[in-house]
Structure 1
Amino acid sequence: MTHRPGLDPAVAEVRLAVRRVLAPLADGDAVVVALSGGADSLALAAAVAFEARGRRVVAVTVDHGLQEGSGEVAARAARCAEALGLEARIVSVAVEHAGGPEAAARAARYRALTDAAGELGARAVLLAHTLDDQAETVLLGLARGSGAASLQGMARESELRGIALLRPLLDVRRATTRAACAAEGLDPWDDPHNADPRFARVRVRDTVMPVLETELGPGIAEALARTAASLREDAEAFAEMIDETIEDIVEHAEAGISVSVAALAANPAALRHRIIRHVVDAEFGESLTRAQTLEVARLVTDWTGQGPIDLPGCAARRLGGRIEFTAR
């Protein structure tokens, strides 16, 4: 990678990553940058400010209200954004604790960011997840043991509620974003939650990853990120196959949906299981564990007259030549 003489390599790397993501957007498009005030999001905001080239950029800071002084932290982040020449907005949210505090905070944050983008007419929200975040996500998925889907990590581009979610820094190390902040004279905020061992992600970051690097050698984070990218490619190919297959084997049923037993049986196990998970997710908005998926698959491959199977949000049962999924 080339950069101008005198430009710090870390700053150049972050800017190039942002430039690649912004390039497909039209000059007049508005974008939102998620800004917590930490090193990753601060380096991202600085790079977007430099690369915006006439686009309207709004830095949105979400105040979850989970820590004492969170309002001042949010105000500090907003001041940083304004110092970079960006518009700044603070959004306060109420965090429901169903599903665990991390998941609840993330859900509330994403709602706030996409709401803000919609109000501003922005096409995209830029998120500051790094290669290190991706590696940690893969390890956490491996620990859950829910199959290849949990090992895909985060997508570089996805969509939520009609808003594009873009992650320009998935190939950038966390050390690089911190170095970029130092080079640009930016003072990031260090979230105390990022050092709290009660959170599984913190234990992965501070304990598991260093042990892996020590015992297996350097490059573990990059290898995990490559694994996520490879599995995501496979998943996209499977998704296309599933979309083509489902049109022929799925029918709407009373209070639910049904799938042809013969068609499921004719497919390889991997595709059969993905079809089952896809049907439940698309129709009822629920994710099945591997154990639940295998129980449904037994209605196809090992049916001995067993009754309905209770699943999240629905029940599955075999009726003649079809598997019927109905709301509970």
Structure 2
Amino acid sequence: MTEAPERAFTRAMEAEFPVAPQRLALAVSGGGDSMALMALAQDWAKQSGTQLEVLTVDHRLRTGAALEIALVERFCQAAQIPHRTLVWTGWDHRGNLQDQARRARYTLLSGAAQGCDAILLGHTKDDLAETFLMRLARGAGSDGLRAMRASFERDGTRFLRPLLSVSRESLRQLLRTRGIDWIDDPSNDDPRFERVRARKALAAMTELGFGADGIAISAHHLAAENAALRREAFTVLTNTVEQVCGAFRIALTALADLEPELRRRAVLAMVRSLGAEEYPPRGDALAEFIAALVRGETRTLAGCLSYRHRDWCWLQREPAYLGPSVSAGDIWDNRWRFAQVEGARTRELGEDGLAQCGDWRSVGLPRRVLLVSPALFKGETLHAAPFAGLSGDVALEYRGKPVQSFLMPH
């Protein structure tokens, strides 16, 4: 059953904030969901003493957006809530418009909400169900079908969805009861967009008795099962996989003995950690890559190179995807930082550097790993290559994300 909006909002906020936050930002477009979010947040803030600020993103894609912004502005003025409009001007008319607009929206919101404890979003149970259907149509597993997260972090900012247990219609009923206007985005009726088609499919399913309530329950069950799988994969990455010189190695026998789904998740996390692609690789490409790993064959995928060395399977950064050289003291390749040395630069060791290392074979690492390892040069002269046995009395620290953090879906 759908929870009453006021009760659902209060319950969600108390769960997230045992102590009332000082300041919250609200993402409000002028549509029904976000206008209801603003009304509910206003009620709650009066009781909690929390300061509110409303943020509206203008993507400059529709002339009608000005009317929606004006509607939000009028409400905020009457309620004495600060309001700002954030303008996106980055659309280059190439690529996926909706994806780029969504990314821009989060970036703009994060940048504008500095000093806020969180940003509230107006996603509802209907959004959860529509997303489920969209991902189901793509053949998603539990990573894609699990319920939307009620809270998440992006660009260093905390985002909350306090209305995920509430139906879209119940929010509109709340607005009607309170006499609050809203404006529906006309693109919400455009069948060219996948979400609009999912919304119509959901409406048809609801008439047959298969609605958002049941989908939400299934999505939450899948979220629990997904979390259990990720915990198992975390254990594999912690206890079975070794991180050496910024690369990963796992015994071939251990790799072959892993349950297929745990093996897929562990390998995907390593590929995302090492690679240079923003999105995970396609499922079929990943499956072929993993099959080659088990056979001990050399393969590349998304900026990651894998191969067999003795009884180990190694995964490392592909040389072509390494970052450019940087001054000592700066972070190189998004992962490594040498202490500052006057006149020195950080880059990969490479063939020229390895030739200056003397007996590098004594360190026991594959030559391929050493070639892409961090090194410090003064001109053409090697000053430090810690993994190849030349410390140069210069501290080196790893500044990359833990591989376990890549177990979360993109």
The normalised TM-score by structure 1 is 0.86
- Opposite residue 212 of structure 1, the aligned amino acid is M
Q: Does structure 1 retain, via aligned residues, the 8 Å contact 2:247–2:314? A: no
1:89 positional shift? 1.4
Q: Does 1:136 align with 2:127?
A: no
Q: Deviations over 1:189-210 (max 9, x none)?
A: 110111111101111112x223
In structure 2, the partner of 1:155 is 149
Give the deviation of 1:76 after TM superposition.
Answer: 2.4
Q: Which residue of 1 aligns with 2:183?
A: 189
With over 3 angstroms needed to count, the CA separation of the structure-2 counterparts of 1:195 and 1:317, relative to structure 1, is: farther
Deviation at 1:254, TM superposition (A): 6.2
User: For each residue in 1:196-249, what CA deviation from the matched residue of structure 2 results, as whole angstroms up to 9, or x when unmatched?
Assistant: 11101111112x2233234xx224211221122111112222222222321233
CA-CA distance at 1:128 after TM superposition:
0.6
User: C-alpha distance in 2, partners of 1:268/1:28?
Assistant: 44
Aligned to 1:4: none
Q: Which amino acid is the alignment partner of residue 36 of structure 2?
A: A
1:314 maps to what in 2? 304
Q: What code does the residue aligned with 2:182 have?
A: P
Structure 2 residue aligned with 1:209: 202
Q: Which has the higher contact order (CA 8 A, sep 6+)?
A: 1
Computing the radius of gyration from Cα coordinates, the structure with the larger value is: 2
CA deviation map 1:107-147 (0-9, x unaligned)? 111111111222xx111111111111111101111112232
| TM superposition shift of 1:179 | 0.8
* d(CA) in 1 for partners of 2:307, 2:127: 40
Give 2:230's match in structure 1, choosing from 225, 239, 249.
Answer: 239
Match of residue 108 from structure 1:
104
What's 1:86 paired with?
81
Tell me how large the CA RMSD over aligned residues is.
2.4
1:257 CA displacement: 4.0
For residue 224 of structure 1, give the secondary structure of its aligned residue in structure 2.
Answer: helix
Residue in structure 1 matched with residue 260 of structure 2 by the alignment: 269
The DSSP-based 3-state class of the residue aligned with 1:286 is coil
Give the gaps of 5 or more residues in structure 1: 2-9
Kept after mapping to 2: 8 A contact 1:29/1:55: yes
Matching residue of 2:215 = 224
Q: 1:248-259 maps to which residues of 2 (within 5 A)? A: 248-252=239-243, 256-259=247-250
Name which of structure 1's ranges 192-201 and 67-76 shifts more when overlaid on structure 2.
67-76
Give the direction of change, closer, same or farther, for the CA distance of 1:183–1:234 in structure 2 (3 Å limit). same
Alpha-carbon distance in structure 2 between the residues aligned to 1:98 and 1:15: 42
Counterpart in the other structure of 1:66 = 61
Letter in 2 for 1:312: A
Distance 1:233 1:262 in 2: 30
Q: Aligned AA for 2:51?
A: R
Query: Aligned pair in 2 of structure 1 residues 316, 225: CA closer, same or farther (>3 Å)?
Result: farther
Partner of 1:75: 70
**1:62 aligned partner, one-letter code:** V
Between the two proteins, the alignment pairs up a number of residues equal to 311
Question: Could you list the per-position Cα deviations for residues 243-267 of structure 1 after superposition, in whole angstroms to 9, with x for gaps in the alignment?
Answer: 2321233344667544443332222
- Is the Cα–Cα contact under 8 Å of residues 32 and 183 in structure 2 kept in the other structure? yes
